[in-house]
Amino acid sequence: MDGRTRQAKRYSIVVQTNDLADYILEDWSGFKKDKFLEPIFEKIDEHVQSMFSKIANENIEETTKHIKKEYKKQYEELSPLAKYEFNEAIENITVSNPTAREDSIALAVETILNLEKTRSGSELLQKLSLLSHEDIEGLNKILDNWSIKDALTVLDEIDKRITVIEAIRKLSNDKTVDELHILHPLIASARWIFGPEFDSPEYASNNQLQTTIEKVFGKKIDKKIFKNNRKRPDIVVKGSSTFSITGTVAYDNENGLTTVNKILIIELKRGGFKLTREERNQAVGYVEDFMECGTIIGNPYINAFVVGETFNEKVQPIQSIENEHKVEIGKVQICLFSQIVDSAERRLFNLRSRLNERYSNVPGMELYHKQSKLAI
């Protein structure tokens, strides 16, 4: 026990024994190290802790009075409810940690006072009281290395991404889901799955891409389907497909002009669609049209993904596209919803499987609505 605590100064404990003489050091300064003594020390520790818990219960009033006197000004500023919760917390600390040092108790008291002044302080106190020893150690380690703001930023981003993955996983096989307005925007918001360079909250709606999209698809684009189509220029609806089109921009240091250096095209087919050679070849045509339309400055590489539920096993799922100089200018890949989920999990270091309990019982639509709020 720490000799600086009030209990240590106030009490002495004597343990009498007749059979431990052989384990005493020659200078009588302590006991020799021996496994035989460990269970004895453990039992003594249990008994001492029990004694101090009993003493703490008997002296709660005295302890509370002492703390109130020391923090009189802060205590008087609390509301009646906050004062009640403060007294309750002090009682809990006194009984649960009867051998705590005074500076540790003072730190706990100051923390409680600060929390009581906030709107959610009592909720946080309640949660802290339920933490296991391992969780408390983990929380302390986090706070040693992170600020609360940084930790929240990271956790919110992870939660947002896992929510998208779970929503896609649960809704992609649900035939009752409005794929156009629910599933397709989910995929579009998860473009980071297809490459870290597309990991941006902004929609790449620069004029070069918009002009190219209108020229390639022309009158076939149905702008009336989305009421806010101007806010989502990255989503194009055409027949049985919805396209998510985005690009990354490079800057020419010499003239200060921008060029599109990479383009990502995600074509999602309606539910239950089995992809065939026809869908793949059609996507190849789109890539060639993008490169030959004459509205994009530079030579961007185009990655096109055609996403469906299943695909014909006879079709080659990946096809490279070359220009007249035999230089690869793009690639078309057939992709499944399940493959997107698996790839996303790998990109997130399998965090979804580790945090499975957090999301397993949440319905897909609830995850979709949560993701929609996070994206605003």
pLDDT tens for 74-98 read 888 777 777 777 777 777 777 777 6
How many CB atoms sit inside 10 A of residue 169's CB? 20
Are 293 and 208 contacting, i.e. CB atoms less than 8 angstroms apart? no
Phi, psi of 170, deg, nearest 5? -80, -25
- Phi first, then psi: what are they for 32, rounded to 5°? -70, 155
249 secondary structure, DSSP code: E
Q: Identify the CA nearest to 332 among candidates 350, 315, 314.
A: 315
pLDDT for 17-57, tens place per residue? 888 888 999 998 889 988 889 999 999 988 988 887 777 77
Query: How much is the pLDDT for 202?
Result: 46
pTM here?
A: 0.55
Confidence (pLDDT) at 295:
78
Question: Does the pLDDT of residue 359 top 80, yes or no?
Answer: no
User: Which structure tokens are listed for 80?
Assistant: 């009646």
Using the predicted structure, report yes or no on whether residue 272 has a pLDDT greater than 70.
no
Q: What are the tens digits of pLDDT across the range 181-204? A: 777 778 877 877 887 777 654 444
pLDDT of the residue at 223: 54
pLDDT at position 332 is 92
Structure tokens at 183: 């599933």
What pLDDT is recorded for position 225?
47
- Evaluate whether 277 touches 304 at the Cβ level (below 8 Å): no
Q: What's the pLDDT at 196?
A: 73
Pair 317, 282: CB distance under 8 Å: no
User: 134 vs 45, 130, 139, 154, 360, CA distance in Å?
Assistant: 22, 12, 9, 21, 23
Please say if the pLDDT value at position 284 is more than 60: yes
DSSP one-letter code for 143? H
Residue 264 has pLDDT above 60, yes or no: yes
**Within a 10 A sphere around the Cβ of 263, how many other Cβ atoms?**
24
In this prediction, residue 227 carries a pLDDT of 42
Give the tens place of pLDDT for each residue, 211-246. 777 777 765 555 554 444 454 555 676 666 778 788
Q: What is the pLDDT of residue 78?
A: 76
Question: What does R_g of the chain's alpha carbons equal in angstroms?
Answer: 33
Q: Using the predicted structure, report yes or no on whether residue 12 has a pLDDT greater than 50.
A: yes
Q: What is the pLDDT of residue 376?
A: 44
Q: How far is CA 184 from its chain centroid?
A: 22
In whole numbers, what is the pLDDT of the chain averaged over residues?
76
In sequence order, what are the residues at sequence separation of 6 or more whose Cβ sits closer than 8 angstroms to the Cβ of residue 78? 86, 113, 116, 117
**Strand pairing class (318-322; 310-311):** unpaired
CA 193 from chain centre, in angstroms, equals 16
* Average pLDDT over every residue of 57-85: 77
Instruction: Please provide the DSSP assignment of 177-204 as one string.
Output: S-IIIIIHHHHHTTGGGG-GGG--SS--
Local structure of 342: helix, strand or coil: helix
pLDDT attached to residue 222 = 54
pLDDT score for 229: 46
289-323 pLDDT tens trace: 888 887 777 788 889 998 888 888 788 888 889 88
Q: pLDDT for 159-176, tens place per residue?
A: 888 888 888 888 877 777
Q: Taking the CB of residue 166, how many other CB atoms lie within 10 A of it?
A: 26
pLDDT the model gives residue 350:
66
pLDDT score at 80:
74
